[in-house]
């Protein structure tokens, strides 16, 4: 059957110094195939997607797949923990007010420069490989900066790194 790997990445620390982790569930099939990435709860109160992913985990334990499925329920533990009484506020970074879903990396100049580097004869696989390699370098470079990156953008860059090699990406939003 599929191989299941459970991992986590640390994305922040809470006020008491405890790590805030993002859980990752990686299913790898016995046969090659596409890579799928699904995340939920970028806005902390959007927890219904976590239930969908939990059900998908149960299903994938017994369903042979080709390729890989990476599931990231509760991709924003910081937002999930921003509470006012029983109400979860987690739509915005409490430090600077940034919407958690707006810090993903995009550089128009980088995209234009890459587009101009494509030769008419270059194979699509080669283009994808080169673009992903360069983009991964850009993401890591941003994460390595010691100044000027906020909590929301740091989280978004980490998630973007996880999703970047996927052939299909789903970001579950709900209310």
Read off the pLDDT of each residue in 3-25 and give the average, rounded to a whole number: 91
* Cβ atoms of 157 and 171 closer than 8 Å: no
Instruction: State the chain's mean pLDDT as an integer.
Output: 92
Sheet holding 31-40, edge to edge: 3-13, 19-28, 66-72, 31-40, 168-172
Nearest to 37 by CA among 46, 51, 27: 27
Please give the residue range of the domain that contains residue 151.
3-172
Element (H, E) at 15: none
* Cβ atoms of 79 and 132 closer than 8 Å: no
Element (H, E) at 87: strand 87-88
Percent of residues, the chain, with pLDDT higher than 70? 100
pLDDT at 42: 94
Read off the pTM. 0.91
Alpha helices in 30-174 (DSSP H): 48-60, 77-80, 108-116, 124-144, 151-163
Q: What is the pLDDT of residues 90-119, one digit of tens each?
A: 888 888 888 999 889 999 999 999 999 999
**Residue 15 sits in a domain of what CATH number?**
3.40.630.10
Length of the chain equals 175
Q: What is the pLDDT of residues 60-91, one digit of tens each?
A: 999 999 999 999 999 999 888 887 777 778 88
- Tally of structural domains, the chain: 1
Read off the pLDDT of each residue in 126-131 and give the average, rounded to a whole number: 96
What are the Cα distances from residue 35, in Å, to 93, 124, 136?
Answer: 30, 17, 17
């Amino acid at each position: 059957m599929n191989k299941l790997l459970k991992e986590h990445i640390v994305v922040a620390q809470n006020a008491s110094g405890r790590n805030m982790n993002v859980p990752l569930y990686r299913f790898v099939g016995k046969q090659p195939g596409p890579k799928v990435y699904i995340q939920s709860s970028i806005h902390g109160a959007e927890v219904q997607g976590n239930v969908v992913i939990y059900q998908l985990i149960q299903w994938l334990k017994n369903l042979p797949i080709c390729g890989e499925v990476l599931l990231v329920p509760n991709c924003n533990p910081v937002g999930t923990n921003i509470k006012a009484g029983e109400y979860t506020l987690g739509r915005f970074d409490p430090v600077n007010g940034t919407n958690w879903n707006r810090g993903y990396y995009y550089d128009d100049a980088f995209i234009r420069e890459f587009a101009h580097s494509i030769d008419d004869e270059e194979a699509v696989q080669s283009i994808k490989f080169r673009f992903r390699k360069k983009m991964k370098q850009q993401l890591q470079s941003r994460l390595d900066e010691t100044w000027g990156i906020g909590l929301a953008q740091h989280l978004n860059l980490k998630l973007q790194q996880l999703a970047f090699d996927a052939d299909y990406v789903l970001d579950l939003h709900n209310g």
